[in-house]
Chain A
Amino acid sequence: MHKLKIEDLEKIRERARRATLLREGDSKAKIIVHMGTCGISAGARKIMNALLNIVEETEVKDVIVTTSGCAGLCSREPMVTVELKGEAPVKYVDLTEEKIHKIFSKHVLGGKIVTEYALAIGSEREP
């Protein structure tokens, strides 16, 4: 990679936005597994592995599985955020491998929020 110029920053921003923002990309859903130290110690790696296996088995191509840091509510880890194209993100808490299977089939593929595992809809505020 060559050294960036300031103009390149804008190009990367656009490219990354297309890749990460569902609105501007080709994927229909994004699943963020929250993997801070707290999430990992509560079992986030298992959730991540389960998700990757499901994606492989179902051969779904248009779902992004990605990681991020702690979502803040450490006592409810493992947590994931599921965002479908055109919809507000949904945070799921206290996850197990079974629960993530159900969330994947009902919410990610079927479009219906699994209300019993969901904590909230939306994302946090910045002042």
Chain B
Amino acid sequence: MVCAGTACVSCGSLGIKKILEDEIQKQGLENEILVVTTGCNGFCGQGPIMAVQPDGIFYQKLTPKDIPHLVEEHFLKGRPVKRLMYIPPGEENPVPLISEIGFFQKQRLIALRNKGLIDPEKIDEYIARDGYRAMAKALTSMTPEEIIKEIKDSGLRGRGGAGFPTGRKWEFCRKTKGDAKYIVCNADEGDPGAYMDRSIIESDPHAVIEGMLIGAKAIGSNKGFVYIRSEYPLAIERLGTAIEQAREYGLLGKNIFDAGFDFDIEMKQGAGAFVCGEETSLIHSIEGITPEPSQRPPFPAQSGLWGKPTNINNVETWANVPRIILRGADWFASIGTEKSKGTKVFSLVGKINNTGLVEVPMGITLREIIYDIGGGIPGGKKFKAVQIGGPSGGVVPNALLDLPIDYERLTEVGAMMGSGGMVVMDEDTCMVDIAKYFLAFTNDESCGKCTSCREGSLAMLEILTRISEGKGKEGDIEFLEELGKAVKDASQCGLGQTLPNPVLSTIKHFRDEYEAHIKDKKCPAHTCKELISYYIDSDKCIGCGLCSKKCLVNAISGEKKKPHQIDKSKCIKCGVCYDSCKFEAVIVE
């Protein structure tokens, strides 16, 4: 297996492969030995690299003159060539290889290919990793129609939420007549727990700029905006530096590469409203007017910024574009599932061992993300569900762990890809509480233009609050379902149309938990304070007094070395006693 990753190819691995095949044929071994190329092995500093299976031997830093000797010794005589090996046999490698660590092993990097490798404040380092080559190709040897066809054929879909095919979006805007056209990068990432876009800009800002340049050429635009939330100071700084450096090199500005194409980018900072992630609100915010959504159609591609045709894509979408142009639509389309191509970046947060940012091929199962990459749930707790897609998404329960992740599958189960936030929840997370949390967020962030969204979210939040306080009534669940559907139908923009999702999906998958709150007045996850109480098991309590020392309201009393008691009238149910007891004597019900 000869590595054909970018780094190995650039130091000659394809030449090595050719010589290897010739030598194997010379020795008459072509029926026994198959030469294949693989993706990057991760030892880019050691390339060209090849692995011999089933022996599991890694050869490194191969040169053409090593090959005849290697083929003769290893393949013909069965004597592996020690001097070319990465780790000679018998020598233990005390530190695992990155390919042996689950967190890295299952990831495939496209949008984040430069993360952790280049200095994002040095344009030269981006150029060293093939930066701006895709733009050079697009500007000098492709027509706008060819660029759009390439993006369409790649199957790239919007990474910001709904997953609209990017190539088609570009085509609409291309075909709309207009004296000026704009393109926009949506970096107004606002979902709780999501930070994919921030990280892409922070680690590789030029990838976004190059993607926008290619998109601008395809659409016929000379002016781009990056709408970025002001809560991302480092991303703003690095993107600003990157734009400056690109201008100095003439990669932004007039007559780029003398190809008769002008383009420049301006940054606009958001003022913290979640609704600005919605296309039409975002446009209004850039225009300087109140960021309320407007009716579509007309779509931004027909009438966007200042009434001109405008194309908006998310940060991650833009960052994928240069790789597609450089490596071709077929390469990109070979990764992923039938309708969802390529990779997706997820931020993995919540009750998970390896919190972090991961880029995985579409079609990977939830189980692989949670257990192989995420390393499972901390503290030996059980996995309960994962909230995908933030406040617009929904929960995917334990029973659907083997669900392959792509746009359609997630929508089928009541969640959505969204921008890619994954909040992992364990057995201690209450589903009513989670729904309440997201509704409180969207209720707060609703711009208030549509009654259904403004009042509907409030009504739903009030019902959820009532349920969590043990005041739920028969019929509440059905009413929530009905109201949720009405809010979806009657709201103008994505915020209102998706805000009932957390409620509807938790009801769909955890109806019994809602019923326990309403009928039995119990919170099975022991989260809703009004429905739980703490007491001390007198058989287990040894009277160490630790809990009474820690109790903030002096609700625990008892003699030393004798079982203690909790005064329920004083107890505020903070759980400090439960967490501090070393003998599992504090019980919560």
State the A residues within 8 Å of B (CB).
Answer: 1-6, 9, 12-13, 15-17, 19-23, 32, 34, 36-38, 40, 66-76, 81, 83, 86-91, 113, 115, 118-127
Known contacts A4-B257, A71-B116; A19 and B124 CB within 8 A of each other: yes
Contact with A along B41-74 (1 / 0, CB 8 A): 1111110000000000000010000000000000
Counting chain B residues whose Cβ lies within 8 A of the other chain, the interface size class is 35 or more
B120 touches which one: A4, A20, A68, A76 (CB < 8 A)? A68
A123 touches which one: B61, B98, B100 (CB < 8 A)? B98
B357 touches which one: A70, A81, A89 (CB < 8 A)? A70
**B43 & A125 in contact (Cβ 8 Å cutoff):** no
Query: Which residues of the other chain, B, contact A70 by a CB distance below 8 angstroms?
Result: 115-116, 199, 202-203, 357
Query: Which residues of the other chain, B, contact A74 by a CB distance below 8 angstroms?
Result: 355-357
| Separation of A67 and B232 alpha carbons in the complex (Å) | 18
Query: Which residues of the other chain, B, contact A88 by a CB distance below 8 angstroms?
Result: 42-43, 45-46, 86
Query: Which residues of the other chain, A, contact B99 by a CB distance below 8 angstroms?
Result: 122, 125
| Separation of A55 and B250 alpha carbons in the complex (Å) | 36
Known contacts A37-B234, A122-B99; A69 and B110 CB within 8 A of each other: no
Known contacts A70-B357, A72-B116, A72-B356; A120 and B101 CB within 8 A of each other: yes
Known contacts A70-B116, A72-B115; A123 and B361 CB within 8 A of each other: no
4 A-B pairs with least C-beta separation:
A69-B203, A3-B250, A122-B98, A16-B128
- In the assembled complex, the CB of B485 is this many whole angstroms from the nearest CB of chain A, namely 37
Closest to A34 in B: B116
**B356 & A120 in contact (Cβ 8 Å cutoff):** no
Closest to B233 in A: A37
User: In the complex, which of the residues B94, B109, B116, B120 has the most CB atoms of chain A within 10 Å of its own CB atom?
Assistant: B116
**A122 & B249 in contact (Cβ 8 Å cutoff):** no
Closest to A113 in B: B95
A124 touches which one: B95, B107, B119, B140 (CB < 8 A)? B107
| Separation of A76 and B136 alpha carbons in the complex (Å) | 38
Known contacts A36-B203, A113-B94; A13 and B127 CB within 8 A of each other: yes
State the B residues within 8 Å of A (CB).
Answer: 5-6, 39-46, 61, 86, 93-101, 103-104, 107-110, 112-122, 124-125, 127-128, 130, 132-133, 136, 140, 195, 198-199, 202-204, 232, 234-235, 248-251, 253, 255, 257-258, 331, 335, 343, 353-358, 361
**A72 & B125 in contact (Cβ 8 Å cutoff):** no
**B132 & A126 in contact (Cβ 8 Å cutoff):** no
**B39 & A32 in contact (Cβ 8 Å cutoff):** no
**B43 & A122 in contact (Cβ 8 Å cutoff):** yes
**B250 & A37 in contact (Cβ 8 Å cutoff):** no
Q: Classify the interface of chain B: helix, strand, loop or mixed.
A: loop
Known contacts A73-B103, A124-B109; A6 and B199 CB within 8 A of each other: no
Query: Which residues of the other chain, B, contact A87 by a CB distance below 8 angstroms?
Result: 45-46
Query: Which residues of the other chain, A, contact B109 by a CB distance below 8 angstroms?
Result: 124-127
| Separation of A40 and B202 alpha carbons in the complex (Å) | 12
**A123 & B124 in contact (Cβ 8 Å cutoff):** no
**B358 & A72 in contact (Cβ 8 Å cutoff):** yes
| Separation of A1 and B124 alpha carbons in the complex (Å) | 13
**B97 & A121 in contact (Cβ 8 Å cutoff):** yes
**A125 & B199 in contact (Cβ 8 Å cutoff):** no
Known contacts A36-B199, A120-B96, A121-B97; A15 and B124 CB within 8 A of each other: yes
**B44 & A127 in contact (Cβ 8 Å cutoff):** no
Closest to A79 in B: B116
Closest to A120 in B: B98
Query: Which residues of the other chain, B, contact A2 by a CB distance below 8 angstroms?
Result: 250
| Separation of A120 and B46 alpha carbons in the complex (Å) | 15
**B113 & A126 in contact (Cβ 8 Å cutoff):** yes
**B39 & A125 in contact (Cβ 8 Å cutoff):** yes
Query: Which residues of the other chain, B, contact A16 by a CB distance below 8 angstroms?
Result: 122, 124-125, 127-128
